[in-house]
Chains A and B, each alone.
Chain A
Amino acid sequence: MAENEFFRLWVYLSASPLLGLTATLIAYQSAYALYRYAGNNPLLNPVAISVLFLIALLMLTDTPYTEYFEGAQFVHFLLGPATVALAVPLYKQLNKLRTLWLPLVTALLVGVAFAGLSAVGIAMALGASKATLLSLAPKSVTAPIAMGVAEKIGGLPSLTAALVVITGIVGAVIGTKVFDLMRIKDDSIRGFSLGLTSHGIGTARAFQQSEEMGAFSGLAMALSAFTTAIILPWLLSLLCIID
């Protein structure tokens, strides 16, 4: 008898993480197949498509996000080791990094300040609330850092996480178009700019283009994470946007 109940409990507990996880993997693989089928059309960004599909599914089945995340967290967890793994492509680009360090550092500092302040400035001009402004400021850095910065300056960390993902998708969708229009062909420049602006989602897109572009995007993502955490709160208080 007791064994039977134990079994039922086990089934009950394992069922919900299993569904969230399976749905995530199926949604992503279908979205990825669609993306490949359409000749890697950036408009069909696999992250965007799978997110839209999963939101629709959760709303239709009346499932709260926290319940979905029970299962999806196993995928989410891999972001940590994947970030560490970026050291490998970076190491392979080491020679190029050595040659380009001065241009990269300059672009990093200017780019990080610009990415944060331009979002705040535009939203301010359009009358966004202060909580929204401050949640927007760290939009270009990878989610865990952006959430930390948002908390520090008085934004809403979970809103920031959402804005970070949208920024990543926007960059991944239009990035290559922008570089093509500017006639920038160098994969190190394309990768670095995409990673600085659109963090990991941009980096994922960059790796689909070339290993070099991916490595520079990963580098920019890591460096801008540091730099933003240090200079963005300082810049915002300098401009009297936060106390």
Chain B
Amino acid sequence: MGLLSGITLLLIYQLVGEVLVFFTGLSIPGPVVGMLLLLATLIIRGHVSESLNATANSLLSHLSLLFVPAGVGVMVHFQRIEAEWLPMGVALLLSTVLSLAFTAFILSVMIRLTGKRSAPDGGE
């Protein structure tokens, strides 16, 4: 029963998110709005229910699986990829590595500048 009420809650928040996006014309996806609404609810209520916690954990532990169907869609674009594989491949690879490094660099510099040492792991 726990899993069922957990998934129902997630779907309700997603639905509310989709409805809000539809009526406000925001250019962000409904699930992201739903996530922020759920986060706001959790902050107001001050705790996570057992069923929601269990459902979220089991969904997120298999997050990779959920990207597989979209990933297989690469096959639809084989022709364009074949024609432009060099600029596409180099841009993707280089830009991804540089973005990873650059974001991590900026974040660690900013943390040092603001003097906010992050709490050690497991310190809660």
* Interface residues of A, Cβ cutoff 8 Å to B: 24-25, 27-28, 32, 45-48, 50-51, 54-55, 58-59, 65, 68-69, 72-73, 75-76, 78-92, 94-96, 99-100, 102-104, 106-107, 110-111, 114-115, 118-120, 122-123, 126-129, 132, 136, 139-140, 142-145, 148-149, 152, 158-159, 161-171, 174-175, 178-179, 182, 184, 186-190, 192-194, 196-198, 200-201, 203-205, 207, 210, 212, 214, 218, 222, 225-226, 229-230
* Interface residues of B, Cβ cutoff 8 Å to A: 7, 10-11, 13-14, 17, 27-32, 34-36, 38-39, 42-43, 48, 52-53, 55-57, 59-61, 63-77, 80-81, 84, 86-88, 90-108, 110-111, 113-114, 116, 118-119, 121, 124
Given contacts A75-B65, A110-B103, contact A158 B77 (CB under 8 A): yes
Q: Interface on chain B toward A: helix, strand, loop, or mixed SS?
A: helix
Asked if A139 contacts B92 (CB within 8 A), the reply is: yes
- What residues on A are CB-neighbors of B14 within 8 Å? 80-81, 83-84
Asked if B39 contacts A87 (CB within 8 A), the reply is: yes
Q: Interface on chain A toward B: helix, strand, loop, or mixed SS?
A: helix
Asked if A193 contacts B107 (CB within 8 A), the reply is: yes
Asked if A65 contacts B75 (CB within 8 A), the reply is: yes
Bound state CA distance, A166 and B85, in angstroms?
13
Asked if B91 contacts A128 (CB within 8 A), the reply is: yes
For residue B55, which residue of chain A has the nearest CB? A85
Asked if B69 contacts A24 (CB within 8 A), the reply is: yes
Asked if B95 contacts A115 (CB within 8 A), the reply is: yes
Given contacts A72-B72, A96-B118, A214-B60, contact A189 B111 (CB under 8 A): yes
Bound state CA distance, A55 and B76, in angstroms?
10
Asked if B69 contacts A76 (CB within 8 A), the reply is: yes
Q: Which of B27, B71, B90, B104 is within 8 Å of A190, CB to CB? A: B104
Bound state CA distance, A61 and B52, in angstroms?
41
